[in-house]
């Protein structure tokens, strides 16, 4: 697998996640406008990958000249909930006084760091899972997509699966389809198939029933922003999973790089939650599936209180709320 996002020949190259699983293709982004559009359409997505996108976007703007800080602000606000995007922009901007080459060097260093951070965090989390789950081999539950597609390389919560699978410790993964944009069934299932990991796709609404039937040993999720108190903003549906896991005594583990921790935010209630367009719920494959003019509540994320989380794991170690 190539990197999900990279720099080549003076432009940003991404794996176009909108095309998967039907087609694996890349797109070359030569302007900030193209990058912002790709972020908002979810052609590039996932908190760590967005951090890289933010930094590379600043590098692109710096090399092209013009109002670099204004362009950087456009990138940082393309999606409001994932703190990594603004973090990547801010880190790259720190090198702007040293020139465009210095900005690009910083962005490329961040690409190199990403795989190491996520391999380390997921290795820590694998040990947390093994300590919390005596049963072998393990039956894991995944929500949204947290594999290499959500990062520059390797993955966060799905990275735990890669570690455990290499040791022969994974029986199967239950993959929440992750409505409404199906990042689970489109992307996570594709990654698991590529890696040869047994899996089953399930509707999001089946997760509680699967836990009640004893089919889940541990829930593994990523994060888009982690508040100072340990509350976690993640893909919509995560909060409900955490409630079900707590009720059924199933460990609930969050895996993310430290760049996802936002100590400026005291608690999850202070996190700005992105709401997305109505058509994502009222249309499917271009066909109308709800009455015309239906009102829609379409938050992209929810907040899971720290009290429902077994552990938050980063490359720096394990935090138990």
Tens-level pLDDT at each residue, the chain (321 residues): 589 999 999 999 999 999 999 999 999 999 999 999 999 999 999 999 999 999 999 999 999 988 999 999 999 999 999 899 999 999 999 999 999 999 999 999 999 999 999 999 999 999 999 999 999 999 999 999 999 999 999 999 999 999 999 999 999 999 999 999 999 999 999 999 999 999 999 999 999 999 999 999 999 999 999 999 999 999 999 999 999 999 999 999 999 999 999 999 999 999 999 999 999 999 998 899 999 999 999 999 999 999 999 999 999 999 998
The confidence score (pLDDT) of residue 156 equals 98
**Eight-state DSSP code of residue 185:** I
- CA 266, chain centre distance (Å): 21
Distance, CA of 271 to CA of 302 (rounded, Å): 9
- Longest pairwise C-alpha distance within the chain: 59
CATH architecture of the domain with range 5-113: Up-down Bundle (1.20)
The confidence score (pLDDT) of residue 40 equals 97
Q: Is 167 annotated as a binding residue?
A: no
Q: Is 46 annotated as a binding residue?
A: yes
**Eight-state DSSP code of residue 180:** T
The confidence score (pLDDT) of residue 266 equals 97
Which residues are part of the catalytic machinery?
224
Please give the full DSSP string across 231-278, using - where no structure is assigned.
-EEEETTHHHHHHHHHHHT--EEEE--GGGEETT--SGGGSPPPB--T
Name the nearest CA neighbour of 234 among 274, 187, 207, 280: 274
Return the CATH superfamily for domain 125-319.
Translation initiation factor eif-2b; domain 2 (3.40.50.10470)
Q: Which helix (H) or strand (E) element contains residue 281?
A: helix 279-282
Q: Is 118 annotated as a binding residue?
A: no
The confidence score (pLDDT) of residue 1 equals 59
State the span(s) of the chain assigned CATH 3.40.50.10470.
125-319
Strand partners, 311: 253
- CA 124, chain centre distance (Å): 18
pTM recorded for the entire structure: 0.95
State the span(s) of the chain assigned CATH 1.20.120.420.
5-113
Q: Is 183 annotated as a binding residue?
A: yes
Question: 137: cis peptide before it, omega within 30°?
Answer: yes
Q: Is 45 annotated as a binding residue?
A: yes
Q: Is 145 annotated as a binding residue?
A: no
Q: Is 47 annotated as a binding residue?
A: yes
Give the Cα-Cα-Cα angle 104, 109, 114 (nearest 5 degrees): 130
């Amino acid at each position: 697998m190539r990197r999900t996002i990279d720099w080549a020949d003076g432009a940003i190259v991404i794996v176009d996640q909108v095309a998967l699983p039907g087609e694996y293709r890349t797109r070359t982004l030569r302007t900030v406008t193209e990058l912002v559009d790709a972020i908002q359409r979810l052609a590039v997505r996932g908190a760590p990958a967005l951090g890289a996108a933010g930094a590379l976007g600043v590098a692109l703007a710096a090399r092209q000249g013009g109002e670099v800080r204004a362009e950087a602000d456009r990138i940082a606000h393309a999606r409001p909930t994932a703190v990594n995007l603004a973090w990547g922009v801010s880190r790259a901007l720190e090198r702007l006084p040293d020139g465009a080459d210095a900005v690009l060097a910083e962005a490329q260093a961040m690409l190199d760091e990403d795989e190491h951070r996520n391999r380390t965090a997921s290795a820590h989390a694998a040990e947390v899972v093994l300590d919390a789950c005596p049963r072998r081999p393990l039956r894991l539950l995944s929500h949204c997509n947290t594999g290499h597609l959500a990062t520059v390389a390797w993955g966060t919560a799905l990275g735990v699966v890669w570690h455990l699978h290499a040791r022969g410790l994974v029986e199967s993964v239950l993959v929440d389809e992750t409505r409404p944009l199906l990042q689970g069934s489109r992307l996570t299932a594709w990654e698991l198939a590529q890696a040869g990991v047994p899996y089953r796709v399930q509707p999001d609404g089946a997760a509680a029933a699967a836990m009640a039937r004893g089919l889940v040993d541990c829930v593994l999720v990523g994060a888009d922003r982690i508040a100072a108190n340990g509350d976690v903003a993640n893909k919509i549906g995560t909060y409900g999973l955490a409630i079900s896991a707590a009720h059924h005594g199933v460990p609930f583990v969050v895996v993310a790089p430290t760049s996802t921790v936002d100590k400026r935010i005291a608690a999850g209630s202070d996190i700005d939650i992105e709401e997305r367009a109505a058509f994502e719920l009222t249309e499917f494959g271009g066909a109308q599936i709800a009455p015309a003019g239906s009102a829609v509540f379409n938050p992209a994320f929810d907040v899971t209180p720290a009290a429902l989380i077994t552990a938050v794991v980063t490359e720096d170690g394990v935090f138990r709320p």
